[in-house]
Amino acid sequence: MNQLEIKNLNVSVAGNEILKDFELTLPKGEVHAIMGPNGTGKSTLAKALAGHPDYEITSGEILLDGESILEMEPDERARAGLFMAFQYPSEIPGVSIANFIRAALQARLAEGEEMEATAFYRRLYEKMDMLKIDRKFTSRSVNEGFSGGEKKRNEILQMAMLEPKFAVLDETDSGLDIDALKVVSEGVNALRGEGLGILVITHYQRLLNYIVPDKVHVMWDGRIVQSGDKDLALKLEEKGYDWVKTELAPA
């Protein structure tokens, strides 16, 4: 209970086994980082959690506050409290950020229930103030012509408004410029707290200079090969991923 538990998870993509008996427990209130070389299965983990149909879970379990999400569609997982942020969000021309978020919130309500506009905007502006986002921002079309930093700002605002129980941010490769990096880390730091567990997936140690994680997990070949505190990320930075391959990888 009160945690996201991934137990013995095996995931195949296009007939190849990518995640191998993957285990992770993320309690609410904590920020965990997963680091690892490219091709090790980090994004596969995120997509399997999201319920992407191409990522076949062949065995294992994913429990959100004790309840299995394996049979849930992606939107049901979101309603159950899982928030996923991917690196390349879609553009939705003609739909403002405010309306997009409102529709996302509305979709979670029971049939016939209406979200009141004033209450929505009150909450939206509250979250924007907390995240130091300019009010003009919400009238722009979702991701259209956005800089990397603006895409991230939109994503973090969505996360703040949806108030998930668990958030997974896949920040894989070089797509994050320094501006985007700061937006993500300031957002995560503003939102971290008791009711939320955050999993930050990253290839680069530098993101963790801004987001200080409670735990760091090093991934290699579809599984976690070492876990530790924030110092593990520094060690990894210093020793490089070859160290993982030669010393941490199971024989």
Cβ-based nearer residue to ligand ADP, 41 or 187: 41
Cα distances from 199 to residues 30, 143, 209, 222, in angstroms, run: 9, 23, 16, 16
Torsion of CA 82, 87, 90, 94, to 10 degrees: 90
CB of 102 to ligand ADP, least distance (A): 32
Binding residue for Mg ion, selected from 40, 43, 154, 202, defined by CB under 5 A: 43
Cβ-based nearer residue to ligand ADP, 39 or 195: 39
Which residues partner with 137 through β-bridges?
Answer: none
CB of 224 to ligand ADP, least distance (A): 12
**């990096």: which residue's tokens?**
181
Cβ-based nearer residue to ligand ADP, 31 or 218: 218
Q: Does 13 bind ligand ADP (CB under 6 A)?
A: yes
CB of 18 to ligand ADP, least distance (A): 4
Q: How much helix, strand and coil, in percent to the nearest 5, is found in the chain?
A: 40, 30, 30
Residues 33-52 as x/- pattern, contact with ligand ADP by CB under 6 A:
---x-xxxxxxx--------
CB of 220 to Mg ion, least distance (A): 14
Mention every residue, 6+ apart, whose C-beta is less than 8 A from residue 134.
128
CB of 212 to ligand ADP, least distance (A): 22
The stretch among 11-19, 179-187, 189-197, 207-215 that binds ligand ADP (CB under 6 A) is 11-19
What element of type H or E holds 184?
A: helix 178-191
Question: Distance between CA 137 and CA 246 in Å, rounded?
Answer: 47
Q: In the numeric block, which tokens belong to residue 182?
A: 């700061």
Q: Does 172 bind Mg ion (CB under 5 A)?
A: yes
Q: How many CA atoms lie within 13 A of 49 on its CB side?
A: 31
Q: Which residues bind Mg ion (CB under 5 A)?
A: 42-43, 172
Q: Which residues bind ligand ADP (CB under 6 A)?
A: 13-14, 18, 36, 38-44, 54, 172
